[in-house]
Amino acid sequence: MRIGRRRLLALAGAASLGGLGLAMGMRPGLSMGQAVAATDLPARQRLLMPPLLDTTATGRVALTAQSGLTRFAGGAPSTTWGFNQGFLAPTILMRSGGLEATLDNSLDEDVTVHWHGLLVPGEHDGGPHTAIAPGRQLITPMSLDQGPATLWYHSHIHGATARHVYSGLAGVIHYTDGRDDARGLPSTYGVDDLTLLLQDRRFDPEGRMIYNPTYADILNGLLGNRVLVNGQPSPIAGVPPGLVRLRLVNGSNARIYSLHFNDTRPFHLVGTDGGLLPAPIEMTYLPLAPGERAEILVDFSQGPAPVLMSARGLSMTVLRFAIDDTLPVRISRVPDRIGDAIAPLVAPDGIITRQISLDMGGNSSGQVQSPGHQPSGSMDHSGHAGHASHAGHATATGPTGVPIHGQGPAVSGLIFDDFRINGRAYRMDRMDFEIRRGTIERWIVSGGGGVEHPFHIHGVHFQVESSGGGGPPLAQNSGWKDTVLLSGGASSLIMRFDHEATARFPYMFHCHILEHEDAGMMGQFTVT
């Protein structure tokens, strides 16, 4: 489907991240996988890009955590949070060199800014030990030196990370070296280079976004009944009739997306968590777990506009596209090469190998469903869940709708101590590992209870040596990673620790299902 640029811009109208008049539901007679038709456009909105904060000239960025009221689809106002705005946050453009981040907190509780994927010392990483109290300011001078990549940032307060990210304290980072044109990669922000922050959220019948997790939500990770892209439900992305770069960021609390196009068209993976790949990898299906990022190239020059879908038990629409013939086509073919080959890390003699087990002990082993619990309007049906589809071993009997607060997440008076790593729940005053700076280590990481866990390590990028209990790395785990989905056996990761993290400001390693992380599935380590 093609439509003029003026028509699409008129449809965007008064939309903003502070008040979105967007359609949450489907129009009558329109199926989830059907390409958008011209007659449906008046009920939809053009996808908006987050505001862009360009730090490449100034070497400075200022963020303020603040509250807001957001209307989704004209429903009742929702209390939301964001950085520099009422919901979510700007995209920050960064490059290597000095960067001074000024972080202000205007909320009524502690926040942090964790730079997820930035290779910086522990004192600048933004973990739970660097909390910013209400009304206070933190100035963080950083020295950056890494390759171009799509990263993100979010609050990381222990016991409250899930609620903070869900409320909107999250944004995307474009780390650049200014050489994308030479690589043949689309690079015009919001035109042929689209930032797509994918998050599912739960809405009540009045259209309010709610976060009141049940016992089962803690065990499973909370799943929403609507997918938001850049904070918008059911948007349409206008794209030129050529090659477009999609920067995909899974900012959901627990949902794993299984991304593909409804017309099965191929696309090319050109970047993962830690940066660009040496050459594009053609694929038609891309799993993306919470915390992971992927950059893909999609050719929109042929055929009707496709629909980006996710199929994991239940097929659902993620994002619709509309071809805008007035937008310039800068790139028309997929480059053969993008950059230099990535040299594999070589395990030295006597390499330290650590066994890491993500455990769901006691009654919380496996997948749990609360009796009779199904959120209103949910797109998740029996047998379809965000990170697994396994039978549970526990029964959730407590009342629903109890929020999480404080250092020990609790529902119905139960303290969750069943979420552990290597048999121990997280404690802020305990160091799990002490690592020598400059050393290479191998971590053999496995999930527990038959549940898929996205595993994230702060302060390093790693290479996946094997996955699924010894199999070769999956295509989506190519290149440098900082988050990997554990599924079907242990994964072998190899990494070098080049940045310092003291006992006062250690690095974290944890499950990136945020409810699991808050409940204790996290550890920490020093690098000295």
Indicate if the pLDDT at residue 468 is higher than 90.
no
**Residue, of 380 and 112, whose pLDDT is higher:** 112
Beta-carbon-side half-sphere exposure of residue 524 (alpha carbons within 13 Å)? 23
Give yes or no for a contact between 245 and 330, defined as CB atoms under 8 angstroms apart. no
Helix (H/G/I), strand (E/B), else coil: 519: coil
- The CATH number given to 52-181 is 2.60.40.420
Surface-to-core class of residue 344, CB atoms within 10 Å of its CB (0-12 exposed, 13-18 middle, 19+ buried): exposed
The rounded distance, in Å, linking the Cα atoms of 246 and 502 is: 37
**At 418, is the pLDDT very low, low, confident or very high (cuts 50, 70, 90)?**
confident
> Domain 352-527, what fold?
Immunoglobulin-like (2.60.40)
**Percent of the residues in the chain that have a pLDDT greater than 90, as a whole number:** 75
CA distance 365 to 386: 16
Which is higher by pLDDT, 49 or 5? 49
The rounded mean pLDDT for the chain is 85
Establish how many alpha carbons lie within 13 A of residue 303's alpha carbon, considering only the half-sphere containing its beta carbon. Answer: 14
Structural tokens at position 343: 């040299």
Q: What share of the chain is helix, strand, coil (3-state, %, to 5)?
A: 10, 40, 50
pLDDT band at 39 (very low <50, low <70, confident <90, very high): very low
Comparing 54-68, 184-198, 324-338, 439-453, which segment has the lowest mean pLDDT? 439-453
From the CB of residue 435, how many other CB atoms can be counted at a distance below 10 Å?
19
Query: What tens digit of pLDDT does each residue of 299-317 get?
Result: 999 989 999 999 876 689 9
All CATH 2.60.40.420 domain ranges in the chain, comma separated: 52-181, 352-527
What is the β-pairing status of strands 45-46 and 170-175? unpaired
| 399-402 CB contacts, 8 Å cutoff, 24+ apart | 400/212, 400/214, 400/215, 400/370, 400/373, 401/212, 401/214, 402/212, 402/213, 402/214
Contact indicator for 233, 316 with CB cutoff of 8 Å:
no
Confidence label for 74 from pLDDT (cuts 50, 70 and 90)? confident
For residue 496, name the pLDDT band (cuts at 50, 70, 90): very high
Strand order in the sheet with 522-527: 433-435, 522-527, 507-511, 453-457, 483-486
User: How many C-beta atoms lie closer than 10 Å to residue 339's C-beta?
Assistant: 18
Q: 84-119: per-residue pLDDT in tens?
A: 999 999 999 999 999 999 999 999 999 999 999 999
As a three-state string, the secondary structure of 171-228 is: EEEEECCCCHHHHCCCCCECCCEEEEEEEEEEECCCCCEECCCCHHHHHHCCCCCEEE
Q: What is the dihedral of CA 526, 141, 250, 184, to 10 degrees?
A: -120
Whether the per-residue pLDDT at 294 is higher than 50: the answer is: yes
| Structure confidence at residue 458 as a pLDDT band (50, 70, 90) | very high
Q: pTM of the full predicted structure?
A: 0.86
Q: What is the reported pLDDT for 395? A: 27
Q: Does position 416 have pLDDT exceeding 90, yes or no? A: no
Question: Measuring CA to CA, which residue among 527, 505, 495 is closest to residue 273?
Answer: 495
The number of residues making up the chain comes to 528
